Amino acid sequence: MCQLLGMNCNVPTDICFSFEGFRARGGKTDEHADGWGIGFFEEQGSRIFLDDKPSFESPVADLVRNYPIRSLNAIAHIRKATHGNVCLKNTHPFQRELWGSYWIFAHNGKLGDFNPTFQGIFQPVGDTDSEKALCYTLEKLQQRFGNTRPILSKLYAALLDISNEIATHGIYNFLFSDGCIFFARCSTSLHYIIREAPFAQAHLIDEDVTVDFKEVTTPNDRVAIVATEPLTDNEQWTEIKPGELILFKDGQPLYS
Amino acid sequence: MCQLLGMNCNVPTDICFSFEGFRARGGKTDEHADGWGIGFFEEQGSRIFLDDKPSFESPVADLVRNYPIRSLNAIAHIRKATHGNVCLKNTHPFQRELWGSYWIFAHNGKLGDFNPTFQGIFQPVGDTDSEKALCYTLEKLQQRFGNTRPILSKLYAALLDISNEIATHGIYNFLFSDGCIFFARCSTSLHYIIREAPFAQAHLIDEDVTVDFKEVTTPNDRVAIVATEPLTDNEQWTEIKPGELILFKDGQPLYS
């Protein structure tokens, strides 16, 4: 299976520290070497860096590590292929536009026998069960709410329904964001941590790197990091429960 | 206004040489310093690198120059802002999915009073006239052909109609590709060159760089390069006529 990393903040923040530990799992400290990707939102705009090389040795990953992109929402994925070949069209995260916003999605898990018939507005380009799940989700949201974005509570309730339906097909951990709000859904394994004042030091599990967040933050900053497995060994991560869908906004859970 | 660069080939080719000259126009040899972007297709997959820094000094552009991505179709754009602020959501190229394919689009020009009402399936995220033109085009194609891709001749005829309609609003040079076919439409300035055997040397206008294509090609390779202004000073570029829409495939014009 794959691994997920996501970030939701109240001020634009770079994900360099977490990404450094995460990328090591793409071929160095773990086996997720079948490509990787990361999507950043900068206001409503987005940019996604993808590579079908292992993240540990990818020149694109070097760029992401060395060029701090400050973002309120970011989603990264390292892949161990289960459905679909190793190629760009099967590399997460995937992006579509709905309601005049970009939506970025990455999935960890495996959905057996998930072969919905699409109405056609959103159609998968690649072969993964994950991209099917994104297209199915967006189609269902569009069918339910038409061409106008609903209020948050209704969107949350709809996404919970759709996710539970898809999850009947298998393992369905995902991260999903439009650059303003950030959803994390756990099926088997997903953890998060909220970093806020008083900030402390954090030390990566996968690389011998420590950062002192006191030195790079202001007292009002708040950052939620979500990952398949905890990335640091000296902080307390919260396990998301199987079946739970959390909506993060401004670096904290809003609905769960 | 902006500048466009595109490539359509019969074998996956890197765009490094052309891009080196082109990026210099983003702040060094010309004034297009309000961000830039490039989209590559690798089979049906795509990746787009965007930056709101001038291309001449962008770390993302350094990556693109140093990491040869081999692609059948690529579209690049350097921006001098006319409509919309300098930010990521207004940075070309833009991408949407239609008929299970990604479509990448970049525009050079200015469309005055172009404010169509969108049905909602494709809605702009940013503020540019260009992204409106893309959404309008895709909506019209979807309305005309439903959820199934038409044959090439019908697609060409439809795109010609839609482009001529949009062009009544102003200057409308664009590049548009789904990774298989490549459209170039000229309103005021667009040039192309076909490189094929016998290959020769080419020398950039904007940088003192020469490449000998004999050394990096095989006899069956064929590459079409399309650009707002010619990029080399020792080759014969063909001017595309105002109002002309050319469909390139496998490195040569198929319809015009």
Find the closest chain A residue to B118 by CA distance.
A147
pLDDT score of B84 more than 90 = no
pLDDT confidence of residue B52: 86
CA–CA separation, A181 and B108 (whole Å): 33
Question: What share of chain A in percent tops pLDDT 70?
Answer: 99
Q: CA-based angle A57:B69:A101, to the nearest 5? A: 90
CA–CA separation, A231 and A206 (whole Å): 7
The amino acid sitting at A48 is I
**Mean pLDDT value across residues B218-240:** 96
CB contacts of B143 in chain A (<8 Å) are: none
**Mean pLDDT value across residues B152-160:** 98
CB contacts of B120 in chain A (<8 Å) are: 146-148
Kindly indicate the confidence band of residue A55, based on its pLDDT and cuts at 50, 70 and 90: confident
In this structure, are residues A96 and A132 in contact, taking their beta carbons and an 8 Å threshold? no
- Crossing angle of helices A129-145/A152-167, nearest 10°? 140
Nearest neighbour of A59 by CB, restricted to B46, B63, B89? B63
Kindly indicate the confidence band of residue B32, based on its pLDDT and cuts at 50, 70 and 90: confident
CB contacts of A89 in chain B (<8 Å) are: 42-46
CA–CA separation, A191 and A183 (whole Å): 13
Range of the domain at A22: 3-255
Kindly indicate the confidence band of residue B45, based on its pLDDT and cuts at 50, 70 and 90: very high
Q: Which helix (H) or strand (E) holds B194?
A: strand B191-196
Determine the distance in angstroms separating the CA of B28 from the nearest CA of chain A, rounded to an integer: 22
pLDDT confidence of residue B85: 81
Q: Which of A27-36, A183-192, B198-207 has the lowest mean pLDDT?
A: A27-36
Total tally of structural domains belonging to chain B: 1
Contacts of residue B1, defined as CB under 8 A and 6 or more positions apart, other chains included, come to B80, B82, B108, B109, B110, B171
Q: Catalytic one among B2, B9, B135, B186?
A: B2
A87 is catalytic: no
**Average pLDDT taken over every residue of chain B:** 93
Give the ipTM.
0.93
Which candidate in B16, B60, B131 is best for mutational testing of the A interface (most A CBs within 10 A)? B60
pLDDT score of B83 more than 80 = no
Question: What share of chain B in percent tops pLDDT 70?
Answer: 99
Q: What does residue A160 show for φ and ψ, rounded to 5 degrees? A: -60, -45
In this structure, are residues A174 and A105 in contact, taking their beta carbons and an 8 Å threshold? yes
The strand pairing partners of A133, in sequence order, are none
pLDDT confidence of residue A242: 97
Q: What is the CATH number of the domain that holds B217?
A: 3.60.20.10
Kindly indicate the confidence band of residue A172, based on its pLDDT and cuts at 50, 70 and 90: very high
- Contacting B with CB below 8 Å, chain A residues are 42-52, 59-60, 63, 66-67, 87-91, 95-97, 99-102, 119-126, 146-148
CA–CA separation, A167 and A242 (whole Å): 11
3-state helix, strand, coil in chain B (%, to 5): 25, 35, 40
pLDDT tens, A106-162?
Answer: 999 999 899 999 988 899 999 999 999 999 999 999 999 999 999 999 999 999 999
Encoded tokens for B203: 């020398």
3-state secondary structure of A198: coil
pLDDT confidence of residue A38: 96
Question: How deeply is A174 buried, as exposed, middle or buried, from its count of CB atoms within 10 A (0-12, 13-18, 19+)?
Answer: buried
pLDDT tens, B87-108?
Answer: 899 999 999 999 999 999 999 9
**Mean pLDDT value across residues A89-99:** 96
pLDDT confidence of residue A28: 77
CB contacts of B134 in chain A (<8 Å) are: none
Q: Which helix (H) or strand (E) holds B140?
A: helix B129-145
3-state secondary structure of A66: helix
Q: With CB atoms and an 8 Å threshold, state whether B147 touches A120.
A: yes
Using alpha carbons, list the distances in angstroms from residue A112 to A4, A129, B82, B140.
20, 8, 49, 36
3-state secondary structure of A130: helix
Pick from A79, A74, A75, A39: nearest CA to A55:
A79
Kindly indicate the confidence band of residue A93, based on its pLDDT and cuts at 50, 70 and 90: very high
In this structure, are residues B217 and B248 in contact, taking their beta carbons and an 8 Å threshold? no
**Average pLDDT taken over every residue of chain A:** 93
Q: Which of A53-62, A177-186, A222-231 has the lowest mean pLDDT?
A: A53-62
Q: How many CB pairs under 8 A join A and B?
A: 97
The amino acid sitting at A221 is D
pLDDT score of A17 more than 80 = yes
Kindly indicate the confidence band of residue B35, based on its pLDDT and cuts at 50, 70 and 90: confident
Encoded tokens for A86: 């190793």
pLDDT score of A12 more than 80 = yes
Determine the distance in angstroms separating the CA of B243 from the nearest CA of chain A, rounded to an integer: 30
CA–CA separation, B230 and A74 (whole Å): 38
pLDDT confidence of residue B135: 98
